[in-house]
Amino acid sequence: MASALVAKHFPKIIRTSLLNFARKSYKRLVREAVDGRDPRWDVVRRISTVAAEAWMSAQRDLEETSDFSARYLKEVTNRRWYALMDERHRRAAQSTYDFIDENMRSAMYLPTKTAAWRKVAASIPADGHILQFGVYKGGSINALADLWPSRRIDGFDSFQGLPENWSYSAAGSFDLRGSMPKVRDNVTLHAGWFEDTLPIWGSENPGNVAFLDLDCDLYSSTRVVLSHLRPRIQSGTWIHIDEMIGYYGWQDHEFKAFQEFLSEAGHRFEYLYYGSTYVLGRIR
């Protein structure tokens, strides 16, 4: 719309600039010639000079108008983008609130997941595995290791980024190029795609899951994890899901995979804590 208006009025801008500049200059030159203050041949030369100056003036006006138009179009585009993002966030917040209101009325809001972890640290089963899927740079798995320093924590990650597009991140985001982070002594890392590392780990480590930290982001990755661990997730297993709610498209990823798992396994989940995107609870 704005670009069409600018294109429409550019010829008028040039024409007006030329006429205004030339009208004043030509009147002065003609008046000087009539009054005998300037030879006629010099008038012709000066008229040519004036025409050139008029054209240059019009070009400057055009450039200034173009700069203004570019700034205007950029501002309009930015406003529309921010409005779109605001609406996406508003709708995500509304749908999240509706889910919380219907399913998590007794759950407690805590702004950080680590605060929620501390609340339940003494309540997880004494036996069983503590697992994290989605280690990235190791900050959260080290926090888990500090909560349970006498227990082994297993962390799984490809360290090659997302295998496909996510709601706000393109495939390849969070890529550490296979470089594993520095972790606590009681942490064991398993590098590779979940579908490759989980069967190997499972064959060497029997037993149920005591605490499961899902930070997989994607539906497909979360689905792989829950499918492999389904026989090991029993009543009393605590599950933290890092991006289950609160963002545009949340119903299509970790949330969807988890709801499918609950339905297929016949489990009931007790939501006890939540934040802007995470939930924490246990299988009943």
Residue 21 near residue 54, CB atoms below 8 Å: yes
Report which secondary-structure segment, H or E, holds 73: helix 40-103
Q: Which CATH superfamily is domain 104-283 in?
A: Vaccinia Virus protein VP39 (3.40.50.150)
Residue showing tokens 């012709």 = 44
pLDDT of residue 238: 99
Given a cut of 70, the residues of the chain with pLDDT beneath it are 1-55, 57-59, 61-62, 64-65, 68-69, 72-73, 76
Across the beta sheet with 108-109, the strand order is 108-109, 269-274, 279-283, 238-241, 209-214, 129-133, 153-157, 187-191
Max CA distance (Å), the chain: 112
Question: What is the structure's pLDDT at 84?
Answer: 82
Category of 56 on φ-ψ map: left (φ > 0), alpha (ψ -120 to 50) or beta: alpha
